């Protein structure tokens, strides 16, 4: 169609210029700030406290958005009898692991023994969600941070004491518990996410 149009124009006495192939593509668009916005950005970067506060906030926000992968009472991944499961995304019934409840409690020692005997579990850094109650805290709630206690005291409520496989760093309450035995760090991370998202609405 273009060649026919060019031929018609040439027959009519017009000069037709045929651009080179690299000249037919439009020049790439470059995003450039206006001078006033460039000055605003420079002023913001000059304010080191504000500049670093923004980066700290962004890091905390990203971590809060990934809360389920950082602090959760469900494993991120489970390998069980050859199947790769993602409990962080899917509610698997307990009957899949030999139980009878509608939703699996992965903190249950029976479920853990069954899965570990037929596969493995990949847990988040902190094994509590915002509503998980820690029934193994050594003193009545609210409990102080776990790192303030020695190992014997931290593990006193576990069946095997200090040798119990569940008395590990992942089950620590890093900031202690509230008056209902819920992990303060988990509630802080989830609460921060809700607060920020509500502010943006």
Rounded average pLDDT over 153-180: 92
Handedness of CA 65, 67, 69, 75 (dihedral sign): negative
Domain with 117 in it:
73-123
Residue 65 forms part of a structural domain: no
Of 185, 175, 50, the closest CA to residue 130 belongs to 185
| Domain-located, residue 137 | no
Provide, rounded to the nearest whole percent, the portion of the chain with pLDDT above 70: 85
- 3-state secondary structure (DSSP) of residue 79: strand
pLDDT at 115 over 90: yes
Does residue 51 sit in helix, strand or coil? helix
CA 124, CA 170: separation in Å to the nearest integer? 8
Asked whether residue 80 is domain-assigned, the answer is yes
Residue 110, in any domain of the structure: yes
DSSP letter, residue 122: E
User: Strand, coil or helix: what is 98?
Assistant: coil
Of the listed ranges 23-27, 55-59, 122-126, 186-190, the least confidently predicted one is 23-27
CA atoms of 134 and 53, how far apart (whole Å) = 34
Q: Give the residue, 121 or 101, on which the prediction is more confident.
A: 121
pTM across the whole model: 0.76
pLDDT of 120 > 60? The answer is yes
Q: Evaluate if residue 127 carries a pLDDT over 80.
A: yes
Q: Report yes or no on 148 lying in a domain.
A: no
Residue 127 near residue 72 (C-beta atoms within 8 A): yes
Q: How far apart are CA 95 and CA 79, in angstroms?
A: 16
Q: What residues contact 124, with CB distance under 8 A and at least 6 apart?
A: 68, 69, 70, 71, 72, 75, 76, 170
Average pLDDT taken over every residue of the chain: 87
- Residue 173 within any structural domain of the chain: no
Whether residue 19 is contained in a domain is answered as no
- Is 91 a domain residue? yes
Greater confidence, 160 or 24? 160
User: Structural domain tally of the chain?
Assistant: 1
């Amino acid at each position: 169609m273009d060649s026919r149009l060019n031929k018609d124009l040439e027959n009519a006495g017009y000069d037709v210029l045929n651009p080179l192939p690299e000249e037919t593509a439009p020049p790439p668009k470059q995003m450039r700030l206006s001078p006033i916005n460039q000055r605003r950005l420079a002023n913001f970067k000059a304010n080191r406290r504000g500049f670093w506060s923004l980066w700290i906030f962004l890091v905390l926000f990203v971590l809060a958005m990934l809360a389920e992968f950082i602090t959760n009472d469900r494993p991120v991944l489970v390998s069980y009898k050859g199947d790769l499961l993602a409990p962080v995304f899917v509610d698997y019934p307990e009957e899949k692991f030999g139980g009878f409840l509608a939703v699996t409690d992965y903190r249950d020692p029976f479920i853990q023994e069954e899965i570990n005997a037929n596969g493995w579990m990949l847990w988040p850094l902190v094994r509590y969600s915002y509503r998980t109650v820690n029934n193994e805290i050594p003193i009545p709630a609210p409990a102080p941070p776990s790192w303030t206690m020695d190992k014997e005291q931290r593990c006193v409520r576990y069946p095997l004491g200090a040798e119990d496989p569940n008395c590990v760093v992942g089950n620590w309450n890093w900031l202690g518990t509230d008056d209902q035995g819920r992990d303060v760090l988990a509630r802080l991370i989830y609460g921060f996410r809700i607060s920020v998202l509500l502010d943006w609405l």
